[in-house]
Chains A and B, each alone.
Chain A
Amino acid sequence: MSSDVRFTDFKSDKQPTWCPGCGDFGTMNGMMKALAETGNDPDNTFVVAGIGCSGKIGTYMHSYALHGVHGRALPVATGVKMARPDIEVMAAGGDGDGYSIGAGHFVHAVRRNVDMSYVVMDNRIYGLTKGQASPTSRSDFETSTTPEGPKQPPVNPLALALASGASFIAQSFASDALRHQEIIQEAIEHDGFGFVNVFSPCVTFNDVDTYDYFRDNLVDLQDEGHDPNDYEAAKEVILDSDKEYQGVMYQDENSVPYHEKHGVTEDMSEIPEGAPEDAMDLVREFY
């Protein structure tokens, strides 16, 4: 990895088609800056994206990347990291992608503690499909498919992560550029699954969870003197549904990533030109 990498190196020359003002712009800038700041370079980075407005992020960034099918970014990213522990892996997507269709994968990627960062652009709405309720929409939030609100409580992704045994849980706000970047950096540097739920407002379909709403209500855990290594304290802020927090809520200091636990250290892309030298032993086993 070269030391002179700039965050613009992670930018592709494709112009984003996001609505002007979409939170995903800020989320992406922070991700690119954090990748550059942590010493990564596009040729050694793999970004896996979901489907949704948020999922388009892989297109606007430059690195090795896969834009897969809806909800499956985490399994793909897991496969990449297992095969290539030498590569920096980042997954990104929306709240629908991650907590609805991909919720099963979320729980398992968290508990596997795969060494990667996962950035969810949480706009509490389905953007790309034009404004239906998402798993994080408020229970009285009126949308085209829920004219009287979903009438079910929103998923608390942080609590879901905590309950799944997460080793790193954080939340950030796309428009608080510096703090957002800092938090993503910490997720990248974490040895294990670095999960960041990002408030990334949808200016077109969500007039409740707006920039102003978050600006007015956001509490920064750093200002509160929160200790992320304190599990009980983490539990408290994560389960506190009265406030919106940003910052690193929880980090397990003893986190050991999945591939290390399983002794995977080698780059799996290199294989011999024929069968392995001792391959006849595999046959002899059946004597």
Chain B
Amino acid sequence: MAEDLNWAVGGEAGDGIDSTGKIFAQALARAGRHVFTSKDFASRIRGGYTAYKIRTSVEEVQSVVDRLDILVALTQRTIDENLDELHEGSAIIYDGERSWEAEIPDEMTAVDVPLKSLAEDAGGAIMRNIVALGAACKITGFDVEYLDEALEKRFGGKGSQIVENNKEAARLGQEYVEENYDLDHLGYNVETTDNDYVLLNGNEAVGMGAIAAGCRFYSGYPITPATSIMEYLTGRIEDYGGHVVQAEDELSAINMALGAARSGARAMTATSGAGIDLMTETFGLVATSETPLVIADVQRSGPSTGMPTKQEQGDLNMALYGGHGEVPRFVITPTSITECFWKTVEAFNLAEKYQTPVFLVSDLAMSVTEQTFPPEAFDMSEVEIDRGKLVDEDEVDEWLDEQGHFRAHAVTDDGVSPRAIPGTIDGAHMSTGLEHDELGRRTEDQDERVQQVDKRYRKVETAQEEEDWDYREFGDEDADNLILSWGSNEGALVEALDYLEEDGIDVRVISVPYIFPRPDLSDEIEAADDVIVVECNATGQFADLIEHDALTRVKRINKYTGVRFKADELAEQITEQLSAEVPAQ
């Protein structure tokens, strides 16, 4: 952990904080270092504190920690907000020429750089953040050439002059620190490696997974933090013969995706918060019409408009139970950015194999966090496509009744019916949200109703048997302490293991990427003395499920401040919980 460097840039929204951070993160990734980023942002466009934090190491990093080594502060608030994380060896880069008088605690190193005037020297005040990056390179002993490469990538499209100006800005920042400060005593010396890493966030991974899986149609309505999936697909999906429609609302978005899916395209929609509520009306239609559809929910803090830019895992119950009547569905919850990719691919396969809605539930923390991975983590040759029982013209005949009608909702042993898409000769049929017979025609006949309900649930039973609903496991398999988690908490938990180990505490971590169906964990729970469920919500929605499945009480760690778990904080809370009483039966 000593090798970590924790860097941040902060200022007001609109100060270019995000792109500054991203450029530095890319430079570090290019230097073969692992990077894990996190963002603090308020729900406003201009003004309001915002920060981009980077943790980087030559080892893999998967979590944030309470420590900040280098801070680029564009406002006093940036310093105040991060005081807890700053320490004696921290360096704070700021612009003393600007109108604010920086109040920096004595024990920290103040690095006053005329960011704005140096940027103007390089060609424009807008580049003051790049000057700061140059200064940061000098302080951390990081080769500015990597920064140059990142600048080329970022501004290459805007012409060579812009690239040169930015490089010049970085160099001026670097030189200024070199000439005016001696910071060797801080001891920062950022190592580089020959590794090639890609740097991406969870939403980009979902979008990439969708394209890899053959998604052709995406419709959505902008909402934080789901929008960047739509932004990723727009401009890329067209290269593969697909299209993105920005719908007028979420009701429309999900219905458009349903229309595209019914006509044979792999289709998807994504939303968050209020958007998933609006879509709920259509969940049942997707399920009863047996349409393969992937619906992603990137959770944020609720209820209502809640805290739109803050982390929460509060939609699990909605994903499991949302919608009137009883709706068979799958609920998949990726636990890391690579899983965002792979589970998206899997979601499309499950949707088509079982002709059901598949909920892909991720969360804000994962969606905005960028992390480095070897490109092989997304090895496209491993992607498999399974379109299920899609019948062509020759196969349709097997599924016609005596009058020659296609039995689109045929009652089968595995619950899955044949699927004919428009254009398939003799496959024409009706589908409806009303209860229907095998032909898709409305019925209120008691036997037919029961047959169709059973058939739809039989798909889930079949999937339960045929698919692997496994889990990911970390730590000591034989430990008496069992920690259960879902979604983005996995990284912080894995790192918390190191802290716990230092204190001589062994734990077994099980991270669950499937909520419905989910792995049967009763043996694991029985074998453990202490079971703790970790999640970012107030009531413990996953813990409730676990208690229900295993008929036992579990301990809970719940965080609902709007901020994701940190590794060190988790380790502390786990230690605390281990000595606490199990809640009364």
Contacts from A to B (Cβ < 8 Å): 12-14, 42-46, 48, 58-59, 62-69, 71-72, 74-84, 86-87, 104-105, 107-108, 259, 262-264, 266-269, 271-276, 279-280, 282-284, 286-287
Q: Which of A62, A80, A283 contacts B375 (CB 8 A)?
A: A283
Shortest distance between the CB of B138 and any CB in chain A (Å): 25
Contact (Cβ within 8 A) B216 A271:
yes
Q: How far is the CA of A283 from the CA of B198 in the complex (A)?
A: 7
**A79 adjacent to B241 (CB under 8 Å):** no
A273 to B381, CA, bound (A): 11
- Known interface pairs A80-B260, A82-B256; 12 further A-B residue pairs with C-beta atoms within 8 A, sorted by A's residue number: A45-B422, A64-B427, A69-B285, A71-B251, A80-B263, A83-B216, A83-B260, A86-B423, A108-B247, A268-B217, A268-B243, A284-B198
Tell me the smallest distance from the CB of B584 to a CB of chain A, in Å: 44
Q: Are B432 and A58 in contact (CB under 8 A)?
A: yes
Nearest A residue to B403 via CB reads A13
Residue of A14, A108, A264 with highest tally of chain B CB at under 10 A:
A264
Contact of A68 with B245 in the complex, beta carbons under 8 Å: no
Q: Provide the bound-state CA to CA distance between A83 and B422, in Å.
A: 11
Check B442 against A59 for contact (C-beta < 8 Å): yes
CA distance A202 to B324 in the complex (A): 31
**A258 — nearest CB in chain B belongs to which residue?**
B245
> Known: A14-B441, A79-B219, A79-B256. Contact between A64 and B429, CB under 8 A?
yes
B18 at the interface (CB under 8 A from A): no
- CB proximity of B302 to chain A, nearest CB, Å: 24
Q: B545 within 8 Å of A by Cβ?
A: no
Q: B251–A59 contact, CB under 8 A?
A: no
Whether the Cβ atoms of A282 and B430 lie closer than 8 Å is no
Which residues from 191 to 220 on chain B have a C-beta closer than 8 Å to any C-beta of chain A?
A: 196-200, 204, 208, 211-214, 216-217, 219
* Nearest A residue (CB) for B26: A287
Chain B residue contacts of A12, Cβ below 8 A: 430, 441
**Partner of A268 from B200, B208, B216, B375 at Cβ < 8 Å:** B216
Cβ 8 A contact of A83, one of B264, B381, B426: B264
Q: Which residues of the other chain, A, contact B281 by a CB distance below 8 angstroms?
A: 69
Q: Decide: B430 and A43 in contact? CB cutoff 8 A.
A: no
Bound Cα distance from A223 to B385, whole angstroms: 58
Chain B residues near A46: list those with CB within 8 A. Answer: 262-263, 422
Residue B59 at the chain A interface, CB threshold 8 Å: no
Does the CB pair A72–B217 fall under 8 Å? no
Is B186 part of the binding interface, using a Cβ–Cβ cutoff of 8 Å? no
Kindly state whether residue B183 has any CB partner on chain A within 8 Å. no
Q: How far is the CA of A240 from the CA of B325 in the complex (A)?
A: 46
The smallest C-beta distance from B156 to any residue of chain A, in angstroms, reads 13
Bound CA span A262–B219, Å: 14
User: In the complex, what distance in Å separates the CA atom of A88 from the CA atom of B89?
Assistant: 69
Q: Is B434 an interface residue (CB 8 A)?
A: yes
Residue of B nearest to A48 (CB): B259
CB closest chain-A residue, reference B289: A66
Question: Which residue of the partner chain B has the closest CB to A42?
Answer: B428
> Residue-by-residue, is B426-460 near A (CB-CB < 8 Å gives 1, otherwise 0)?
11111111100000011000000000000000000
Distance in angstroms from A103 CB to nearest chain B CB is 11
Q: How many A-B residue pairs have CB under 8 A?
A: 214
Which residue of B243, B247, B428 is within 8 Å of A262 (Cβ)? B243
Residues of A within 8 A of B252 (CB): 72, 74-75, 78, 104-105, 108
Q: Which of B260, B421, B433 contacts A82 (CB 8 A)?
A: B260
Residues of A within 8 A of B208 (CB): 282-283
Question: Do A43 and B425 have beta carbons less than 8 Å apart?
Answer: yes
Q: Name the residue among B214, B259, B428 with the largest chain A CB count within 10 angstroms.
A: B259
A112 vs B261: C-alpha distance in the bound complex, in angstroms?
20
Q: A64-B422, A78-B256, A266-B241 are in contact. Are A287 and B217 (CB under 8 A)?
A: no
Which of A259, A268, A284, A287 is the one whose CB lies under 8 Å from B265?
A268
Q: How far is the CA of A283 from the CA of B207 in the complex (A)?
A: 11
Is B381's CB under 8 angstroms from A275's CB?
yes
What are 11 A-B pairs at a CB distance below 8 A? A43-B428, A67-B434, A68-B432, A72-B255, A76-B259, A80-B262, A268-B216, A271-B266, A271-B385, A272-B385, A287-B199
Secondary structure class of chain A's binding surface, majority of residues: mixed
A275 to B380, CA, bound (A): 6
Decide yes or no whether B378 CB sits under 8 A from chain A. yes
Report B272-294 CB contacts with A as 1/0, cut-off 8 Å: 00000000011001000100000
Q: A66-B432, A72-B252, A104-B248 are in contact. Are A84 and B204 (CB under 8 A)?
A: no
- Which one of A62, A104, A273 lies within 8 Å of B428 (CB-CB)? A62
Query: Known interface pairs A66-B289, A67-B432, A69-B285. Does A75 touch B251 (Cβ–Cβ under 8 Å)?
Result: yes
Shortest distance from the beta carbon of A50 to any chain B beta carbon, whole Å: 11
* A72 partner residues in chain B, CB cutoff 8 A: 251-252, 255, 282
- B249: chain A residues at CB < 8 Å are 104
**Quick one: closest B residue to A49, CB to CB?**
B432
Interface centre among A14, A67, A259 (most CB of B within 10 A): A67
B217 contacts A79, CB within 8 Å?
yes
A42 CA to B420 CA, complexed, in Å: 13
**Counting CB contacts under 8 A, is B564 at the interface?**
no
Tell me which residues across on chain B come within 8 A of A43, comparing CB atoms. Answer: 422-428
B427 neighbours in A (Cβ, 8 Å):
43, 64
Q: Does B343 interact with chain A (Cβ within 8 Å)?
A: no
- Given contacts A43-B428, A76-B256, is CB(A84)–CB(B383) below 8 Å? no
Interface 1/0s, chain B 380-419, versus A by CB < 8 A?
1101110100000000000000010000000000000000
A264-B428 contact, Cβ under 8 Å, with A76-B256, A83-B216, A274-B381: no
Give the CA-CA distance A86 to B432 in the complex, in Å.
23
What chain A residues lie within 8 Å of B282 (beta carbons)? 68-69, 72
Give min CB distance, B445 to chain A, whole Å. Answer: 14
B91: Cβ under 8 A from any A Cβ: no
Q: How far is the CA of A48 from the CA of B255 in the complex (A)?
A: 11
Q: Are A83 and B428 in contact (CB under 8 A)?
A: no
Tell me the bound Cα distance from A82 to B212 in angstroms: 20
| Cβ–Cβ contact B385 & A83, under 8 A | no
Nearest neighbor of A2 in chain B, beta-carbon distance: B425
Contact in complex: B243, A58 (CB < 8 Å): no
Q: Are B216 and A79 within 8 A (Cβ)? A: no
Nearest chain B CB to A42's CB is how many angstroms away? 4
Q: Is B314 an interface residue (CB 8 A)?
A: no
